[in-house]
Structures are given as C-alpha cells and as structure tokens.
Amino acid sequence: MAHETLAWPDTYGGKAKPRMGFFTDTSVCIGCKACEVACKEWNQIPMSMQGFSGKSYDNTIDLGADTWRHVAFVEQKRPQNVLHVDGDGLATYQEGDGLRWLMASDVCKHCTDAACLDVCPTGSLFRTEFGTVVVQEDICNGCGYCVPACPFGVLDQRKPDGRVWKCTLCYDRLKDDKEPACAQACPTNSIQFGELDDLRERAEHRLGQLQGAGQDKAQLYLADDDDGIGGAGAFFLLLDEPEVYGLPPDPVDTRHDIGSVWGAAGVAALALGAGLAAAVFGGRR
C-alpha cells in the first residue's frame, strides 16, 4: 500500500513558499523549441529525437523521460475565404481550405492531487516547498507504479535502468530565486512563470482579450481547482479544444475511484468464497 502523503503546504508548515507554476499562452507560441533546448541543456537530458511522424514538423512527438518539455505542432485545416480572380479580372472571395498552425509547449502539470506521488512506494516522488512535484532519481527503484497513475501520460522510465524522470520545474533554480530555464529562454513570453494566483489572474485577462478579438474557442485549461486533479501548477490558454492538442478533455485523479474498486473487489471475493464453500460442502452431502 502506498504511503500516506500530507498535502502541501502542510508538508512544509512555516517553510512553505507561495505556490509557483507555469502559465502557457499558446496563442503566442511560435514553435521555436527554445524551451526544449533550454530544458535539455540545463538539466543535462539525453537526446530524444523520435523522428518525424509524417503529419507534423514536430520531431519529439510527446513527453517522456528524455523530453521534459514538448512543443506540439498541430496543422489544422479550416475553411476560409480565398481570393479568386476569373478570366475577366473579376475578383471575388470564395470559400476554400485554409491552414491554421496551433503550437503549444507541454510539460508536467504538477497536480495538486498528484496520483504519481501517492502511489510511489519509496518516497522518490515528493512535493517541494513551492508546491511542485519532483522525482528523486537516486531513490527511484524503477517500479513504474507512477507511470500509469498519471492522467496525462507525463511520466516515463528511462530504458537503461528503468528509473523515472520528468520536469522538476527547475527546483534547483527555484531555490536560488531563478526562473525555470524554459521560461527564461521563451522569446515570446508564451511560457510565463510566477506565483500561481498571479498567473491565473493574468490568464483570465488574456482570455478576455482573445475572446473579445473573436477567438470564440479560446479557453483556459487546468486553470482552476475543479479540474479533476484539484488544480494544476502548469496550466494553458488554448485556442481550440484540449483534444486538438493531444490533451485529455476531462482529466481525473486516477485514485478517485480506488475506494469503490476495492469495495467491489471485496464483495466479489466474498461472493466467490461463499460459492466455493457451497460447492464443496454441497458436494460432500
């Protein structure tokens, strides 16, 4: 059974810091992958080029043990008015196929209700005084329990020894009052770092700007505490539905139904035991 984990900030008491996190405004992401490079350089992460999918210019494809930041490329076909000039020189606008590029830098969400942390049997995963979730690689035993526990598919094991690696939100830099490497490298301020409450206010203001400009599908993703994981330390402003970006539309803490699952298993076990007993004793008579 997994060890019991105290909720942040109770874990740190008076030593707890304001909760820090990321706000990623995908509307200004240019897909430069500077965040990926800065993350790898600072954290000394091995190369993780997986090859092109044939559907995108993205060559890292998804998050993993060797990809803590992943810039997703989405080429989205959509109808738009196209200028057409006929043989007489008459110009008209006709409906045709257009292409919109959606780009978003994905990262570990540093969940409030972090299933990965609670299923870890060794205490390798812990919550920092900044409210973030970090893996201690020297304690990880490679059991892999945390991998399926993550509702976002963030956690992954490195092949040589099976240990798990993921974004730490640059915990070492935070302790020195520095912003994470990815946020510092972002040339458009798409990745914004700061106190979570301040970031949420900033995100609401930005959302209002985009919706006022006609971006009807613009929405905040994981920006409140009623998102199925109790709130996230990394949230996003999207220009379309989460599924378009490869994100789950309704993420749920994977431990949410564990009590009812164990209860149902207990009832089933009792029923099976009663059935076996009846068969055994009935056969003897």
Do the domain assignments include residue 5? no
Is residue 269 domain-shared with residue 139, that is, in the same domain? Answer: no
Do the domain assignments include residue 38? yes
Is residue 230 domain-shared with residue 249, that is, in the same domain? Answer: yes
Give the range of the structural domain holding residue 279, as residue numbers without chain letter: 257-285
- Residue 109: CB partners within 8 Å, gap ≥ 6? 152, 154, 222, 229, 232, 233, 234, 235
Is residue 278 domain-shared with residue 211, that is, in the same domain? Answer: no
Tokens of 176: 């020195």
**Number of separate domains in the chain:** 2
What are the DSSP E strand ranges found in 48-184?
A: 70-85, 91-106, 125-127, 133-135, 156-157, 164-165
pLDDT above 70: percentage of residues in the chain: 79
Tokens of 60: 């890292």
Q: Domain with 241 in it: what CATH number?
A: 3.30.70.20
**pLDDT (0 to 100) of residue 65:** 94
Q: pLDDT confidence of 48, banded at 50, 70, 90? A: confident
- The pTM of the full predicted model, rounded to 2 decimals, is 0.81
Is residue 177 domain-shared with residue 284, that is, in the same domain? Answer: no
Do the domain assignments include residue 1? no
Tokens of 13: 């008491």
pLDDT of 1 > 60? The answer is no
Is residue 141 domain-shared with residue 281, that is, in the same domain? Answer: no
Contact 80, 96 (CB under 8 A): yes
Do the domain assignments include residue 132? yes
Is residue 225 domain-shared with residue 266, that is, in the same domain? Answer: no
Alpha-carbon distance 217 to 126, whole Å? 36
Average pLDDT of span 210-228: 95
Residue 276, CB-side half-sphere exposure with 13 Å CA sphere: 6
**pLDDT (0 to 100) of residue 94:** 64
Is residue 265 domain-shared with residue 147, that is, in the same domain? Answer: no
Q: What is the DSSP letter of 67?
A: B
Is residue 127 domain-shared with residue 200, that is, in the same domain? Answer: yes
Secondary structure (DSSP) of 201-252: HHHHHHHHHHHHTT-TT-EEES-SS-SSSS-BSEEEEESS-GGGGT--SS--
Contact 21, 233 (CB under 8 A): yes
Contact 179, 148 (CB under 8 A): no
Q: pLDDT confidence of 140, banded at 50, 70, 90? A: very high
Is residue 123 domain-shared with residue 159, that is, in the same domain? Answer: yes
Do the domain assignments include residue 6? no
Is residue 19 domain-shared with residue 126, that is, in the same domain? Answer: yes
